[in-house]
Amino acid sequence: MWYVFAGMGTQWHGMGRSMMELDTFRESILRSDAILQPLGISLYDLLMNGEESAFQNTINSFVGIAAIQVSSLIS
């Protein structure tokens, strides 16, 4: 078990990408992605393909950080 407690401003390009290799982490991210899709947010695309500038958007930063924290706790 590991804990990831990031705060606003600690996000970086590619954050969480390597953790997608972990089945439980990836499944959690995909569940969060499905929930966020109707709101126009593609979490999977943000984490896997997002440009560095994408994290200048507060919503993207918050969603990315929160989803990674939740997925890390589940894993």
Helices (H), 1-75: 23-36, 43-49, 58-74
Q: Judge whether 55 and 12 are in contact, CB under 8 Å.
A: yes
Tens-level pLDDT at each residue, the chain (75 residues):
555 555 555 556 677 788 888 899 899 999 999 999 999 999 999 989 888 888 888 888 888 888 888 887 765
pTM value is 0.77
* Chain-centroid distance, C-alpha 24: 14
